[in-house]
Amino acid sequence: MLDAIVVGSGPNGLSAAIALAQAGCKVVVFEASDGIGGGVRSKALTLSGFVHDVCSAVHPFGVASPFWRTLPLAAHGLEWIEPSAMVAHPFDDGTAVIVERSLEATAATLGGDGDAYRRTIGAVVDNWPQLERAVLGPLTVPRHPFVLARFGADALRSAEGLARSAFTNERTRAMFAGIAAHGMMPLDRMLTAGVGLALGAMCHVAGWPIPRGGAQNLAKALVAHLQSLGGEVIVDSPVRSIDDLPPARIVLCDLSPKPLLRIAGHKFPAAYRRALERYRYGPGVFKVDWALSAPIPWTADGCARAGTLHLGGTLGEIAASERAAFEGRIADRPYVLLSQPTLFDPSRAPAGRHVAWGYCHLPSASAVDMLDRVEQQVERFAPGFRDCVLARSVMRPADLEAHNANLVGGDIAAGVTDLRQFFTRPTWRNYSTPVKGLYICSASTPPGVGVHGMCGYFAAQRALSERM
């Protein structure tokens, strides 16, 4: 009998497998698709020689992950590249707010909002060692209650509310909204400020880096380390029912509730099944990858130094775009997240050529073609962009879900992250299920979305403490 089986080789599945192997378990990972990594894969999606990140591209929580910090991933080929600037937020007047790696350098460019930036984002940066476990872990008795209470008072607010009360300049407010909008929630909802504060602080705590050669190299390093501990990953092995798995003392599923119900629903008591059925997914994503003949011709100074760009203009525009996607409407000017990795990692394209990665949010499962709207947002801040496009690849919500069953309706966050689902992901049991030995380790458990492996790490700790 095996000690443990993990279903799915996303960053959380692999982290769970590593944590179990570290504890001496014999672990096998079964992966449905033809390659390892789940949301951390790279492919030649457009033209030969152009490497595109299929899902995740920029990894602030990957480099900051308390679990991965302890693993020898560099020895297995992982090299983080830090762009010269973390985030650029361009405006229609041809200027941009640039979030630098240095908090001070960033604050210095924000004029009258410099002190407010130090007080809000700076406070999270200063207290990150005390906050890390609360932000990147399940709900527990806080080790640093006063620091957490101070963070919580701001984090629980809406991003719009915090931006309007803390900052006086519309440019700073827009920059904060762009960061908070990663959370895929309307920016007037509680807790959206927390996304802006935590992700904003990451610019100065750990950076917003990219793996050299593509996100796939992060997954490869995790698998290589797992193999060095005696673990195994078997690809092209979709698990259709947990009854088909070989005998094992524990099974951890790197699955969100809907695909979990498909393979294990018949094992659960009705009340738990209903709780999983009630789990709410959020808006979808419309993803575009471009092969480019030249760097993107940004108008604003500083944009060419940034790894990530937030294209959405003002706070009002970004808030309207996020509300529309959440409420089932299409925004004419969708907020677009864009990454331009080849400016910092030329290995991903033929000499002199480039790739870019971008997406916008849209209603769950929507089939609306957003390509023109997305490219218009890029053109708005980089006239001539379309002249550089050699080829493009588009993934609609249905394509994303076909690529990975976890991405229900194209939701890349494995479920809405509002106040209720933040703490009860996917139910109050978090990683455990009513079936002995069966656990959930995906981003539908705390601490949720992002490439950090902490859901997998904590699920493995729960399983080890209960079953081994």
Q: Which residues bind ligand FAD (CB under 6 A)?
A: 7-13, 30-33, 38-40, 55-59, 61, 238-239, 254-255, 259, 263, 285, 287, 359, 400, 404-407, 412, 442-443, 449-451, 455
**Between 259 and 313, CB nearer to ligand FAD:** 259
d(CA 281, CA 444): 10
Tokens of 130: 């005390």
Q: What is the side-by-side order of every strand in the sheet holding 96-99?
A: 96-99, 85-90, 306-311, 336-339, 354-362, 284-292, 389-395
- Type and span of the H or E element at 216: helix 216-228
d(CA 23, CA 30): 20
Minimum CB–partner distance for residue 67 and ligand FAD (Å): 13
Minimum CB–partner distance for residue 187 and ligand FAD (Å): 19
Minimum CB–partner distance for residue 378 and ligand FAD (Å): 17
d(CA 327, CA 320): 10
Q: DSSP code of 361?
A: E
Minimum CB–partner distance for residue 57 and ligand FAD (Å): 4
**Between 107 and 222, CB nearer to ligand FAD:** 222
**Between 160 and 401, CB nearer to ligand FAD:** 401
Residue type present at position 466: E
d(CA 272, CA 369): 37
For the chain, give the number of residues: 468
**Between 160 and 453, CB nearer to ligand FAD:** 453
Minimum CB–partner distance for residue 168 and ligand FAD (Å): 31
Residue type present at position 132: E
**Between 163 and 407, CB nearer to ligand FAD:** 407
Give burial (CB, 10 Å; 0-12/13-18/19+) of 7: buried
Minimum CB–partner distance for residue 403 and ligand FAD (Å): 8
**Between 59 and 333, CB nearer to ligand FAD:** 59
d(CA 293, CA 56): 23
d(CA 60, CA 202): 6
**Between 10 and 122, CB nearer to ligand FAD:** 10
- For 31, phi and psi rounded to 5 degrees? -120, 130
**Between 147 and 263, CB nearer to ligand FAD:** 263
Minimum CB–partner distance for residue 436 and ligand FAD (Å): 21
Minimum CB–partner distance for residue 104 and ligand FAD (Å): 26
How many CA atoms lie less than 13 Å away from 38 in the CB half-sphere? 34
d(CA 20, CA 1): 15
